[in-house]
Structure 1
Amino acid sequence: MHLTTLLTAAIVPFLGVRAAMLRFSCSQLVVDRLDPLVNPGQVPSPHLHQIVGGNSFNVTMDPNVNDISQTSTCTSCQFTEDFSNYWTAVLFFKARNGTYKRVSTVGNGLGYSASNGGQTVYYISNGAVTAFKPGFRMVVGNPAFRTQAEARTNPALQFTCLASPMTRSGYRYDFPTDTCAGGIMVTVRFPTCWDGKNTDSPDHQSHVAYPVNRNCPSTHPIKIPEVFYETYWDTRPFNNKALWPADGSQPFVWSFGDKTGYGNHGDYIFGWRGDALQRAMDANCNSDLIQDKLNCPTLKSQTIVNANKCSIQRKVKEDLDGWMKELPGGGME
């Protein structure tokens, strides 16, 4: 199901459907080689990530040790009661001479261009939902995938070649094969059904599931908000095809060495303070789709300028700004 269909379904309270859609900017918190879900305690982690959200993000994120909604002192997200952490892999450009350059994220052009990168986050409901519990976390996608058949098992992870910030068509599971005038948008949509018992699972996925024919399966009967990321990767500086591979193939690669794009994935750790997220879902809050209006009176918010001020120091000291002979961590294609 494409994003436009999802949003249409999510904002139809006038048809008698109980619906909510929070849409807000989360500025860049840090770009670092840490992954407290898949590689807890490991410094550095095998590949690079871009992280947004609360500033208590760290190498372990053990829910039994602290509650990130209480230990964070700021958030790079516009809703100030949201100290969750959201992260994805990092995109790189591989030039014809074999060197790599990190691609920056930019603010979503639909009202969030003041953001210093990061991503746009959505929480969507279509009917009553149960907000996540403290300690909840999940992962979607698989960095080992390299075929479209594998990628289609996670149909909500897609790429869009942006002709403009308004582009919402032409979804695909792999990297675009031509230059994109507005950059590349990567979307990550998480499952919306929960087993009602576990806030995590060994693979960080089994405790959640996608609905079947819009209904949650009996194994995962509890409807939860849909968490959705949109990340704008600024590939515009690399649109000169003289820098692309001599055979004309697309030049982008994920930080874990995937040049197909099929290994797209995302990570999430819940960190809303108190009952803030449940209040917003119960109040059917709906953000404006175009303008930067956080239309949810029950929640506290901050400007994007203030959200930009929340950041943390990189734990792994390595040059991420220049041209590199190999990917950080030595990821192989």
Structure 2
Amino acid sequence: MPRRSKILPGTLIASALLLTSLGLGAVAARAGAPAPATAALPAAHSAHLMAASTASSPEDPDGDGYIPANPPVTGVPAPQNPPHRYFHEFQANCSVTHTAPDDPIVYPQQPGKSHDHTFMGNTTTDANSTTASLGAGRTTCKAPGDLSGYWMPTLSKAGKPVLPVGPQTIYYKAGVTDYTSVRPFPKGLRFVVGTPTQTADEFRRHPGFVEGWECGDSYFNTEIPATCPNRADVQLNIRFQAPSCWDGRYLDTPDHKSHMAYPVVKAGTNDNICPADHPVALPMVEFKMAFPVNGDMSQVALASGPGHSFHYDFFNAWDDATLKALVDHCIVGGLQCDARGWDQTHPEAGAALNADYRLP
């Protein structure tokens, strides 16, 4: 593959537009807007400001932050208009594995440099994780073929971690109207959704914002509510969606975002399509996390700071055949599937995986 240029034609303009559309606090600060406060960040990890990575790693030997896809994806067909289906999704149900001040995407090969994260899925995820190491690991996801790493800033109350209990719901959906165009993630794709330095307004206006923080009858909060009903059936919840359009060229970029984009509305229609510079439709990941905490929430915070600093990371290490089976059966097939690819309202369609959540 030809050596990539460090500065691609139009990169500065395109990157500025993309970062602005994602509502990044760092961009606002460079433009002269007030910089978001970082005083709330834990002192030991206040340096986690989502700056471009500079450390080298086995997958990025020169440390420039660009990890090229091999092969790249080109020749994406024009969007079609398939029959309307309300659902086109499946779930990856994954439990918490551990917490650690590591981030193999933002701070590869630099253990302890990040604020504390809560990891789900692959049990081996740490600062030194690579596509190969994750592929050799184990998982807490229901589907053994999902060896991906999922992580988010650790939530705590009065300094003690509050960890989600049991399998959490991670949706894989179609983010574009043409759900038949969605293809599986390329192995090794990684990205960060949101940023710890975003302001409350940027968090609320972020294209991935769904319902914000919620508990009981309180919804759409940018901050963690001060109180939640003190009942056994009440937990703190958050839902947040990832970008689902890929540039087809890079598995990662220096800001861990620019190779991904959110769908846009096609002019003159209500159709969501991928923008021309990010034409490849991938599954839209949506975190739906539940934290077992309620009552007085005044001492509840994220390791990254206040509630509006919520963000998360995804590092794809799915078994290729398993992921393709679920994407083709559930997303392209227009079904609402559980973690084995079963839609209970369409039993005639069967399941993508067997009772052990493996390929039949």
The 1:301/1:24 distance shift into structure 2, 3 A limit, reads farther
Pairing 1:22-41 to 2, within 5 Å after superposition: 22-41=90-109
In structure 2, give the amino acid aligned to 1:135. G
The 1:81/1:62 distance shift into structure 2, 3 A limit, reads closer
In structure 2, give the amino acid aligned to 1:142. T
Contact 1:80–1:301 (CA under 8 A) maintained in structure 2: no
In structure 2, give the amino acid aligned to 1:89. P
Pairing 1:1-333 to 2, within 5 Å after superposition: 16-17=84-85, 20-63=88-131, 66=132, 68-69=134-135, 71-72=136-137, 74-94=138-158, 100-107=159-166, 115=167, 119-125=168-174, 126-156=179-209, 158-163=211-216, 170-180=219-229, 181=231, 182-213=234-265, 214-236=272-294, 239=295, 241=296, 250-256=298-304, 258-259=305-306, 261-284=307-330, 286-287=335-336, 294-295=341-342, 297-300=351-354, 302=356
Alpha-carbon distance between aligned partners in 2 of 1:230 and 1:193, rounded to the nearest angstrom? 20
For residues 193-242 of structure 1, the C-alpha deviation after alignment (integer angstroms, 9 at most, x for no partner) is: 11111111111100000011111111111111011111111113xx1x4x
Contact 1:156–1:190 (CA under 8 A) maintained in structure 2: no
Alpha-carbon distance between aligned partners in 2 of 1:136 and 1:293, rounded to the nearest angstrom? 23
SS in 1 for 2:264: coil
- Larger RCO (CA within 8 A; separation ≥ 6): 1
Alpha-carbon distance between aligned partners in 1 of 2:257 and 2:355, rounded to the nearest angstrom? 30
The 1:264/1:146 distance shift into structure 2, 3 A limit, reads same
For residues 148-207 of structure 1, the C-alpha deviation after alignment (integer angstroms, 9 at most, x for no partner) is: 2454234426534232xxx7x822322223224412112221101111111111111000
Alpha-carbon distance between aligned partners in 2 of 1:61 and 1:226, rounded to the nearest angstrom? 23
For residues 88-145 of structure 1, the C-alpha deviation after alignment (integer angstroms, 9 at most, x for no partner) is: 0111123xxxxx22223123xxxxxxx4xxx211111233212111111010111012
How large is the RMSD of aligned CA atoms in angstroms? 2.6
SS in 2 for 1:262: helix
SS in 1 for 2:98: strand
Aligned length: 253
SS in 2 for 1:298: coil
Show structure 2 runs of 5+ residues with no match: 1-81, 266-271, 343-349
For residues 234-272 of structure 1, the C-alpha deviation after alignment (integer angstroms, 9 at most, x for no partner) is: 113xx1x4xx6xxxxx4321112x12x111100000011
Contact 2:98–2:123 (CA under 8 A) maintained in structure 1: no
Contact 2:215–2:228 (CA under 8 A) maintained in structure 1: no
In structure 2, give the amino acid aligned to 1:199. L
Alpha-carbon distance between aligned partners in 2 of 1:36 and 1:134, rounded to the nearest angstrom? 16
Contact 1:18–1:127 (CA under 8 A) maintained in structure 2: no
Alpha-carbon distance between aligned partners in 1 of 2:253 and 2:274, rounded to the nearest angstrom? 18
Contact 1:151–1:263 (CA under 8 A) maintained in structure 2: no
2:65 match: none
For residues 57-92 of structure 1, the C-alpha deviation after alignment (integer angstroms, 9 at most, x for no partner) is: 2322234xx2623x12x2100111111111101111
Show structure 1 runs of 5+ residues with no match: 1-13, 95-99, 108-114, 245-249, 304-333
The 1:83/1:142 distance shift into structure 2, 3 A limit, reads same
Contact 2:90–2:330 (CA under 8 A) maintained in structure 1: no
Contact 1:146–1:262 (CA under 8 A) maintained in structure 2: yes
Q: TM-score, normalised by structure 1?
A: 0.68
SS in 2 for 1:282: helix
Contact 1:157–1:173 (CA under 8 A) maintained in structure 2: no
Contact 1:67–1:135 (CA under 8 A) maintained in structure 2: no
The 1:265/1:157 distance shift into structure 2, 3 A limit, reads farther
Contact 2:95–2:140 (CA under 8 A) maintained in structure 1: yes
SS in 1 for 2:273: coil
Alpha-carbon distance between aligned partners in 2 of 1:130 and 1:288, rounded to the nearest angstrom? 17
Alpha-carbon distance between aligned partners in 2 of 1:225 and 1:49, rounded to the nearest angstrom? 24
Contact 2:156–2:301 (CA under 8 A) maintained in structure 1: yes
The 1:154/1:19 distance shift into structure 2, 3 A limit, reads closer
Alpha-carbon distance between aligned partners in 1 of 2:278 and 2:214, rounded to the nearest angstrom? 34
Alpha-carbon distance between aligned partners in 1 of 2:86 and 2:301, rounded to the nearest angstrom? 41
| Identity score, percent | 25
Contact 2:92–2:169 (CA under 8 A) maintained in structure 1: yes
Q: TM-score, normalised by structure 2?
A: 0.64
